[in-house]
C-alpha cells in the first residue's frame, strides 16, 4: 500500500523466526527497553506486535524515529484496547463473585485515538492510525488461555496475584462467558490489531496550507450553494 521500495529495513519483534524468512535482509531487533538501533541508518522500521508490552511506548517510538533516515517510514502493529474485552469482563465479574475482590489479570491496552497521538508526540510526520478487529472462537476458557500462553500474552503484570487462582474462579468465568458472549457453543474472543504509520520529517513531504489561505470556496468546488447555519 506504500508505493516505495525499502532497502535497509529493521524489525523490532519478540518473534524473530516469524519475520526473518520474509525479510532476510532486515536487521532483527529484540524488543528491549533500549532498542539496538543505530540512528539514521534505516529507511523503514517495523515495530511488530510488542508495543503494548513496552514499559515506555513513547520512548520506543522515539527510538524508532531516530533510527530512520530522512523521510523514512515507521510501521507499528500492536494489540489495541478492544482486545480480550470479553475475557476482561468475565474474569473481573467471576473473581468478584467468588472471592469478593479483584486483581490485575489482563494488560491494559491503548485506545486507537490515544495511540495515534503518540506518533505526533514522538515527532513523526503524516501520522495515521487505523485498526481491524478479528474474532477467534474457542471451545472453552481453558482452550483460550492455552492459546494466549502460546502467544506470550498471559498475565505478566507486576501487581498480579502471586498465588494460584482457585478453579472456582475460572469455572465461574467460563459460565459467564457462555451466558453473555457464547455463540453456537463457542466462546468468541476479540483481537483488535492497531496499525500506526508515520514518517521521519523531511522538507520533501507534503505540508498542510496555512489556515485561511484557500483561494476557492468549498461550495464552489462541490458545485452547491452555501447556506448559513441556524442560530
Q: Could you give the CA distance from residue 12 to residue 87 in angstroms, rounded to a whole number?
A: 28
Query: Is 30 strand, coil or helix?
Result: coil
Q: How many residues does this entry show for the chain?
A: 231
Q: Which three cell numbers stand for residue 219?
A: 461550495
Task: Please provide residue 49's backbone torsions phi and psi, each rounded to the nearest 5 degrees.
Answer: 60, 40
pLDDT of the residue at 231: 65
The 3-state DSSP class for residue 54 equals coil
CB-based contacts of 224, cutoff 8 Å, min separation 6 = none
pLDDT the model gives residue 174: 93
* 208: DSSP letter: P
Q: 56-65, 111-120, 129-138, 215-224: which range is least confident on average?
A: 215-224
pLDDT at position 2 is: 78
Q: Specify the residue for cell string 484496547.
A: 81
Coil/strand/helix, residue 152: coil
Does residue 208 register a pLDDT over 80?
A: no
Grid-cell match 474462579, residue found: 169
For residue 201, give the nearest of 73, 75, 71, 40 by alpha carbon.
71
For residue 199, the model assigns a pLDDT of 94
- Residue ranges and CATH numbers for the domains of the chain are 9-205 (3.40.50.150)
Please report the beta strands in the chain, taking only residues with DSSP state E, as ranges in sequence order: 9-12, 27-29, 42-48, 68-79, 125-138, 187-199
Cα atoms in the Cβ-side hemisphere of radius 13 Å centred on 63: 21
User: Given pLDDT bands bounded at 50, 70 and 90, which one contains residue 59?
Assistant: very high
Q: What is the pLDDT of residues 105-131, one digit of tens each?
A: 778 888 998 898 999 999 999 999 999
Which cell numbers in the block locate residue 91? Answer: 474474569
Is the CB of residue 177 less than 8 Å from the CB of residue 87? Answer: yes
Instruction: Return the pLDDT at 70.
Output: 94
Dump pLDDT digits (tens) for 143-184.
Answer: 999 999 888 787 777 777 677 778 898 899 999 999 999 999
Reading phi first (left if > 0) and then psi (alpha if -120 to 50, else beta), residue 117 is in alpha
Q: Mean per-residue pLDDT for 186-201?
A: 95
CA distance 229 to 231: 6
| pLDDT for 187 | 95
What is residue 215's predicted lDDT score, i.e. its pLDDT?
A: 78
pLDDT class for 90, splitting at 50, 70, 90? very high
Strands 187-199 and 125-138: antiparallel
Q: 58: Cβ–Cβ under 8 A, 6 or more apart, which residues? A: 118, 121, 122
Which pLDDT belongs to residue 138?
95
Of 32-41, 95-104, 156-165, highest mean pLDDT:
32-41
Query: Is the entire prediction scored with pTM above 0.85?
Result: no
Amino acid at each position: 500500500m506504500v508505493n516505495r521500495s525499502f532497502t535497509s529495513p529493521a524489525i523490532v519483534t519478540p518473534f524473530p523466526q516469524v519475520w526473518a524468512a520474509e525479510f532476510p535482509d532486515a536487521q532483527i531487533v529484540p524488543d528491549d527497553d533500549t532498542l539496538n538501533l543505530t540512528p539514521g541508518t534505516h529507511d523503514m522500521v517495523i515495530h511488530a506486535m510488542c508495543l503494548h508490552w513496552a514499559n515506555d511506548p513513547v520512548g520506543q517510538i522515539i527510538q524508532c524515529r531516530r533510527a530512520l533516515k530522512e523521510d523514512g517510514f515507521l510501521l507499528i502493529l500492536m494489540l489495541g484496547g478492544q482486545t480480550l474485552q470479553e475475557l476482561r469482563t468475565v474474569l473481573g465479574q467471576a473473581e468478584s463473585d467468588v472471592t469478593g475482590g479483584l486483581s490485575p489479570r489482563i494488560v491494559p491496552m491503548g485506545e486507537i485515538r490515544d495511540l495515534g497521538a503518540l506518533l505526533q508526540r514522538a515527532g513523526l510526520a503524516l501520522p495515521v492510525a487505523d485498526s481491524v478487529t478479528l474474532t477467534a472462537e474457542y471451545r472453552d476458557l481453558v482452550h483460550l488461555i492455552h492459546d494466549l500462553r502460546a502467544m506470550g500474552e498471559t498475565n505478566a503484570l507486576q501487581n498480579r496475584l502471586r498465588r494460584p487462582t482457585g478453579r472456582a474462579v475460572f469455572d465461574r468465568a467460563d459460565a459467564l462467558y457462555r451466558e453473555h458472549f457464547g455463540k453456537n457453543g463457542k466462546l468468541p474472543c476479540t483481537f483488535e490489531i492497531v496499525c500506526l504509520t508515520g514518517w521521519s520529517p523531511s522538507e520533501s513531504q507534503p505540508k498542510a496550507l496555512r489556515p485561511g489561505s484557500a483561494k476557492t470556496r468549498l461550495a464552489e468546488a462541490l458545485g452547491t450553494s452555501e447556506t448559513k447555519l441556524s442560530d
